[in-house]
Structure 1
């Protein structure tokens, strides 16, 4: 299997190391203009049209901008794409462009589960009918720096958990683009961006990012919680998100699997 990776950050480097023991060849890294030449694992290119003709998969490891810039042309060319940048799909024009490109190119955009679990249960429950889905994202106050939470809370002075956003997953993804991927994953697996509810909380009592799902429907009730660690070389990148990206690549080669 020959793949191209978008970006060379922490998640990309995790994937590069993880596939080294597998029959997967990285034929190129897709980078921003100005970052050309060869890296330790593959040549750098700046656009999909520069990829070798036998590229079979493009993996977005660079975030929303990478998916926006390179997702549609890859799909249009007939190359499947894996992304963990699910928050970008709250942008309706981008969602439509990706869908159109995938249809025209007879390709598929595959969504990695990212930093959250239980999405398989939500997808199954959706077929029988879901009445309520809520995602609660808790981070230490420092984890919300650089986000709209700073306009609502004195993050350095908190002594108790404080909610700084309550609303739809679509609104959360729009207002918190750097923190939207998990909320978007829950929404896409369940009730959609407008009907999935989201609470975002700054909590000085925790040291890890905590993701919680509450759901109810014809299947019964579900509560799921995970406290995620960051990648060692980037405190802003979820280790599980990187692992889910690697797993999605390796799943492409399995003959039996989920």
Structure 2
């Protein structure tokens, strides 16, 4: 392995994104061979890298898991007040983190990976990756409601108008919606602006990956073709276990 920049090394080791790695380095939380690291430090597999007191095992083959988050599970790695967090259900030998959280009372598909760059790229709003949801509300789904939801809604608390999106009625109180934005609690805020409340929300697709036959609490490792497609669609290259921006 040739030497690479420390922030890239940390991202490919599943510690965090390159941006967050830069913050850790700046805060003095990263040591290389016992010395405080600096921006631009180059490392390889012979170097000992420690982050916040924990020794990093080095670059691993990129892994992506499709996980069905049940209702009641909190999207966080550690929370002493939460009854259940993702780590309680995903018993995987490699440290992974999630892209795009779901509220505690929501359920559905989460993608998890050990590659911080991939996580960052999947979450970046400018990339406009599709996410599909099935939603149940407390009022009847009307044609006027569908028109408002799909055409864009001004959210006063965020001072932003949502982008146009695909919305289809699936039942008297249910609909399917495909978003390319990643605003906080976007669907719930949009429904509230239309005078109704969300009773149930389930994410069934992220980009080309669907929840399939997964049951709540289950996860599956994606195959090479799906993983490589994610990298390609995120503008990253996948070469022998290493990723990086396409140039």
Instruction: Tell me, yes or no, whether TM beats 0.5.
Output: no
TM-score, normalised with respect to structure 1: 0.26
**Rg (Cα) greater in structure:** 2
Higher helix proportion (structure 1 or 2) = 1
